[in-house]
Structure 1
């Protein structure tokens, strides 16, 4: 048996180690001796960077919880007007990149923006000394913007948890004359705690890895420190040490979330088909719930999208340029390649696990999924370290053989971006294909072996036709995530190479949001696809 699947075993372990190599490279480089740059950073600004990062993560998580948890309870447990539209509209902000929302709100709320101009006209104020207005370009402003686009993580998971709770428990609470608030506080909230914790950890990790928003808002965090140390000081060693600190923080977040619910076990039945025990809201409560939910959708998605649409319409001729078309083609190429590679690797990991069946066969797929928890900026450091070493090795070898110097074949081409995207989003493909393969009965495997099919024939003629939809979904999700990825693309792009995400970032950073509107809308439209898929799956389940 071992020899029969030796090819699958070798491929699974080799590719999984390649995908985890960037993470190992970060810790290996960070373990080296500290240089003057890192020592200087530790003595001067590292405490500020760390404090800002901690405050940003905590404040964003709390605001996202404030936004998402009440909305999840309302949509799962209450009957309100327009709920069929709201149940999918509530997740639309996930399609809007945080830095784009930040640029728009800064444009609106700055001293020269329309909101403050209108206030000065109404009240006759002459300058900023006559009144106080909160500064949007601050840590609080960055937290608010990030919470607006990240609260759907908590909303989705909490809503699903509320909808899966036992009908008998909720009916018992009503028989005991518990008010809706008491039922929420004493039954629904404790049962949904694991899902809420997962949602909070996702918000925290996304906030920790954000670069576009905090950079524009001039909030110095560990992510901006990695970027500045690498590009500003040209010091990969110091950047690796800061990246290692961020990775440890992420692992602590994940470990704390799992440790907090290590002894918690839930055994409950979902809502029975046809049961509708939701609370009918009326009067003031109904309109407060409607305004709360639609207000979140409006401020986090509708209003920014309308502003982008206005800019795109009026500046379409100036935006539709050969550069825009070329950068769109660049994004298409690297995203398609990353999606194809990720799907192939996911097939190898999952099919090897299905063929062998031993406990150790799950390790390659789990190792390959670690990159999803790594912020793009940190991942770029980890990718660059081994690729630079591979370039040096290749050039030294070709020179020794008298073949000349090929240059930066790995670290200076699209290969670096594609490799980073595969490492970052392989977990998405692995999870999708794993769930598809799990639905195929083992009897088909036995029948295939009885007919004399080799493992590759079994995959090609039996399993692939059955999991074709899962493979397409996996590739689509990796493609969409790669199209939107900014952090890794900023640091790994070759010279004179831009993606749509970096194109938008460059224009918006130069206060030219009008020129960035058209590509930004394209990124938003692309981001809507997985959200529609998620909501359709929720509707089919419930």
Structure 2
């Protein structure tokens, strides 16, 4: 709660001149670009995610089993890395446009060039092809668990396959689609690297430039508060749209039988299935491999600065993962342990508040944390000097502690969600037997819960670790002086236009991002629907 309260207080400190300037020159453009970006990305991820989920569920064709998990691969590539790669791939003198000009007989980019990728449509295109797996993942599971009898009944009543999809399958999948689209839009709102690389002035970019470039914390807080209002509006809109919908079935769920495709229909299905994977993962991945190989061939290794950035990334990610897991375990286990009515309700409310940090964009969270961390620094420094010691300096802001705090708040939802899912699989009778045999609460946690929670803890730790490695906005704004991670190193290299060494850092982040994708593929799609 502290970042949100602080953000509101900081925003109120700005003068009316700040507000008038923002309303006249900054917010209209930033709001319009952000709204159009969210709308475009929302439509694109819905079309790609729902289409891919229905293609895999309803039809059988060559490479279908491979596609079922390969469609998740774009999740391994952060949005700013995709923008970083495509800016070079689709450059006017890059390989793609050069090949097209050769085929068409043109000699110069002045004679022929593709539309500029540095635009709002370009940002919508790239973000959509990276974030569609959020919709695909949730919708694929919903399609796979729908009762086949409902779809068969629609066909018996005379509906065409197209009508069955739009009138039966799609309405039943609306909750899953809404969840996936909401996650994709929150990631879009949190993005700073791709939007800045592509020249789109969003609210997130405006917060960063106002604070860092103009050194105006009050104005940055005001823009961040507007972003927070937009986040709340998105969440409320999603819940309002499903306020009266209930989905239940008394029948035994029998998965639908996939229709076998052959000939040109199978080729079309394969093309539609592989296209988003090639655009969202294969093309940028091959580019990063090629640039990394060229870098090692010409330079012969990586710089000490890049190695230090890699070490910083792993060290901070490990610390943040341990702290996030510990906090998540505390919240989830407490919510499960409290049994009486009022306390149980309160504990669930607190758990819901603790998971709300994931919905706060990294730039907003960074500004909201600034004042509380500075207050703690000042208090600790005063106490330390009162004891007769010299001024210790900034204990939190001068170290990675502030960065770890931001990571923990932002990714605590992943830890709590994974651990709660693991605790739900442990029957209450086991811990009741432990208590009857004289074991304490802490002893039951140590000897019963923790051994049974190892798979859930491992999965949550992996997801938190990789997300902290990829996080860019909060890292840019809260890192100590002369401290770089792989994400900030890549951001700086892209800003300077030196793509070769940035590709090494980007490839390392992508390889780390493959781990949770493989985990998701193994745990979510064990059943062939």
Please state which band the TM-score falls in when normalised by the shorter chain: over 0.9
Residues 110-156 of structure 1 show CA distances to partners (whole Å, capped at 9, x for unaligned) of 22222333333444446555446311110110111101100111111
Give me the whole-angstrom Cα distance separating, in 1, the residues matched to 2:251 and 2:16: 57
The aligned length equals 522
SS of the residue corresponding to residue 94 of structure 1 reads helix
| Counterpart mapping for 1:140-539 below 5 A | 140-268=121-249, 272=253, 277-316=257-296, 317-357=299-339, 358-539=344-525
**TM-score, length of structure 2 as denominator length:** 0.94
Give me the whole-angstrom Cα distance separating, in 2, the residues matched to 1:129 and 1:315: 30
Return the match for 1:103 from 73, 84, 95.
84
Report what 1:8 is aligned to.
none
Residues 88-111 of structure 1 show CA distances to partners (whole Å, capped at 9, x for unaligned) of 111100111111211222212222
Do the aligned residues in 2 keep the contact of 1:369 with 1:430 (CA within 8 Å)?
A: yes
Give me the whole-angstrom Cα distance separating, in 2, the residues matched to 1:446 and 1:62: 49
Offset at residue 398 of structure 1 (A): 3.4
Structure 1 pair 271–109 and aligned structure 2 pair: CA distance change class (3 A)? farther
Do the aligned residues in 1 keep the contact of 2:459 with 2:519 (CA within 8 Å)?
A: no
Report what 1:25 is aligned to.
6
Report what 1:46 is aligned to.
27
**TM-score, length of structure 1 as denominator length:** 0.92
Offset at residue 160 of structure 1 (A): 1.2
Residues 223-252 of structure 1 show CA distances to partners (whole Å, capped at 9, x for unaligned) of 011101111121222111111111111111
Unaligned regions of 5+ residues in structure 2, if any?
none
Give me the whole-angstrom Cα distance separating, in 1, the residues matched to 2:404 and 2:303: 25
Residues 459-492 of structure 1 show CA distances to partners (whole Å, capped at 9, x for unaligned) of 1122111112212222221111111111111111
Do the aligned residues in 1 keep the contact of 2:302 with 2:501 (CA within 8 Å)?
A: no
Residues 321-346 of structure 1 show CA distances to partners (whole Å, capped at 9, x for unaligned) of 32222211111111111111111111
Offset at residue 43 of structure 1 (A): 2.2
Do the aligned residues in 1 keep the contact of 2:74 with 2:133 (CA within 8 Å)?
A: yes
Do the aligned residues in 2 keep the contact of 1:26 with 1:381 (CA within 8 Å)?
A: yes
Give me the whole-angstrom Cα distance separating, in 1, the residues matched to 2:110 and 2:251: 58
Give me the whole-angstrom Cα distance separating, in 2, the residues matched to 1:119 and 1:449: 72
Structure 1 pair 354–276 and aligned structure 2 pair: CA distance change class (3 A)? closer
Structure 1 pair 521–334 and aligned structure 2 pair: CA distance change class (3 A)? same
Give me the whole-angstrom Cα distance separating, in 1, the residues matched to 2:306 and 2:450: 37
Residues 64-103 of structure 1 show CA distances to partners (whole Å, capped at 9, x for unaligned) of 2222221111011111111111011111001111112112
Unaligned regions of 5+ residues in structure 1, if any?
1-19
The two structures, once aligned, show a CA RMSD in angstroms of 1.9
Report what 2:48 is aligned to.
67
Do the aligned residues in 2 keep the contact of 1:95 with 1:525 (CA within 8 Å)?
A: yes
Report what 1:15 is aligned to.
none
Residues 13-32 of structure 1 show CA distances to partners (whole Å, capped at 9, x for unaligned) of xxxxxxx3222221232233
Report what 1:17 is aligned to.
none
Do the aligned residues in 2 keep the contact of 1:165 with 1:270 (CA within 8 Å)?
A: no
Do the aligned residues in 2 keep the contact of 1:319 with 1:516 (CA within 8 Å)?
A: no
Structure 1 pair 215–272 and aligned structure 2 pair: CA distance change class (3 A)? same
Give me the whole-angstrom Cα distance separating, in 1, the residues matched to 2:68 and 2:329: 33
Give me the whole-angstrom Cα distance separating, in 2, the residues matched to 1:132 and 1:527: 33
